[in-house]
Amino acid sequence: MEMAQELHVLAVDDSHVDRKVIERLLKISCCKVTAVESGTRALQYLGLDGEKSSMGIDGLKVNLILTDYSMPGMTGYELLKKIKESSVLSKIPVVIMSSEKILPRIDRCLEEGAEEFLLKPVKLSDVKRLRDFILRGEGDDNKETEKNIKQVCSRKRKFLDDSTTQSMLSAVVTVHDIESSSPESSASSESQQPLSKQSKIG
Amino acid sequence: MENQKKRQAAYMKRSLLDQGYLDEQFIHLEELQDDANPNFVEEVVKLYYTDSARYVRNIELALENGPYDFARLDNMMYQFKGSSSSIGARRVKRQCSQFQEYCNAKNIEGCRNIFQEVKQEYDTLKTKLETYFQTDRHEKDARKRYSQRAEDPLRVCLGRELWKDSFTDVESKHQIRCEQAHHHDLPSSS
């Protein structure tokens, strides 16, 4: 599989403000961004019939879909389902964002195939970590490209303080967390388990 | 001298954080700024106020007459709260949560009352942020002009004059004149 120089992320969010912020976060993390305001638009961009293999209508391969959960019309969950149901698009990792930490919701999304569930507001450390995760998954034979992207990116943003990394541990929930927390404590539980390192992309 | 002006915007921001108008999300947004995008946060905040005006308006209309659709009210508030959270508007966000509680309790009077608080916090924050951004931009421009003048010896004199005029407080001007007198043997006039 050909690896693009930069990851191309399709960001889906009905909030104009959030789109602007996520776009900035992704650009700083050296990702190409296409931001759309709905699940419908996202599917249109990806090609509803999934003919082109995970390419946007402008021919750019999409490496990651980052979508808000609560959107009018099609929710992020519904978008996730449609993508996973498509033989062509299902390979694209999907990450769900939400300002609400509702464990059954998170559970459902992860079960449906979402890679991760991020709590809003999304931080730079979350995005960087996602980028690295996707880069690793895009192909073991592309370690050189992954290293290059990281080097170029860190040179560009040398002045950014990397001490924001700590915050990621409290904002990310994975399957590991679901399995280890009980339903009763879901509403009030604020503590998070460290990010488990299991790779989901083969 | 330079530090005094530099402190003004930083002081304002510290104050907004300490008083709970803003939370750390605002700081995270500022960290996304660089030379190529020096006014990113101001752009986001402007977008927030433009975009959320319709939520405020729609909620206001929905609160006017019955029958009251609490689910719809809650949904609109959820979206408004989300945007508020994205810019770090802590007090606004808190009032939004209170509003949602009244929605859940189907308490229309409670909703109406708390919505006044929401609007008040929303408007207060707007004014405070406008002042902050103006001060911050002013400081950034001054620093830029100063460094540009310092780099180009031919323009130093012209630059210094313009730079002096950009500061309005007497103390700064006095300090600048003292510095000049000390370094360049110019008359230290008052």
B window 52-71, beta carbon within 8 A of A: 52
> Which whole number is the average pLDDT over A158-168?
42
CB atoms within 10 A of CB A58: 8
Statement: residue B52 has pLDDT above 50: yes
Using a CB cutoff of 8 Å and minimum separation of 24, what contacts does A160-164 make? A160/A28, A160/A124, A160/B31, A161/B31, A164/A123, A164/A124, A164/A125, A164/B28, A164/B31
Segments of chain B assigned E as strands:
none
| Tokens linked to B93 | 């966000």
Q: What is the pTM of this model?
A: 0.74
- Cα–Cα separations (whole angstroms), residue B34 to A33, A111, B30, B181: 19, 39, 9, 35
| Tokens linked to A101 | 């930490």
pLDDT given for residue A190 in this prediction: 40
> Which whole number is the average pLDDT over A126-145?
77
Which of the four pLDDT bands, split at 50, 70 and 90, describes residue B182?
A: low
For B23, nearest residue in chain A (alpha carbons): A121
What distance in Å separates the CA atoms of residue B178 and residue B181, rounded to the nearest whole number?
5
Statement: residue A187 has pLDDT above 90: no
More confident residue, A164 or B165: B165
Contacts of B32 in chain A (CB under 8 A): 21, 24-25, 28, 124
Pick the range with the lowest mean pLDDT from A126-140, B5-19, B49-63, B80-94.
Answer: A126-140
Percent of chain A whose pLDDT exceeds 90: 53
pLDDT given for residue A182 in this prediction: 45
pLDDT in tens, A59-96: 678 999 999 999 999 999 999 999 999 988 999 999 99
* Contact between chains at A17 and B25 (C-beta distance less than 8 A): no
Q: Does B132 touch chain A (CB under 8 A)?
A: no
Which of the four pLDDT bands, split at 50, 70 and 90, describes residue A123?
A: very high
Question: Residue A197: which H helix or E strand, with range?
Answer: none
For A71, nearest residue in chain B (alpha carbons): B79
For A160, nearest residue in chain B (alpha carbons): B31
Mean pLDDT, chain A, whole residue set: 77
Pick the range with the lowest mean pLDDT from A53-67, A137-151, A166-180, B92-106.
Answer: A166-180
* Contact between chains at A157 and B34 (C-beta distance less than 8 A): yes
Percent of chain B whose pLDDT exceeds 90: 68
> Which whole number is the average pLDDT over A178-202?
42
| Tokens linked to B184 | 């360049």
Q: Does B37 touch chain A (CB under 8 A)?
A: yes
pLDDT in tens, B75-115: 999 999 999 999 999 999 999 999 999 999 999 999 999 99
Which of the four pLDDT bands, split at 50, 70 and 90, describes residue B39?
A: very high
pLDDT given for residue A13 in this prediction: 98
What distance in Å separates the CA atoms of residue B141 and residue B110, rounded to the nearest whole number?
46
CB atoms within 10 A of CB A202: 4
Confidence check on the interface: ipTM exceeds 0.85, yes or no: no
Statement: residue A161 has pLDDT above 50: no
CA distance B37 to chain A (A): 10
> Which whole number is the average pLDDT over A158-165?
42
More confident residue, B158 or A101: A101
> Which whole number is the average pLDDT over A22-31?
96
Q: Is A35 helix (H, G, I), strand (E, B) or coil?
A: strand
For B51, nearest residue in chain A (alpha carbons): A16
> Which whole number is the average pLDDT over B127-152?
89
pLDDT given for residue A186 in this prediction: 40
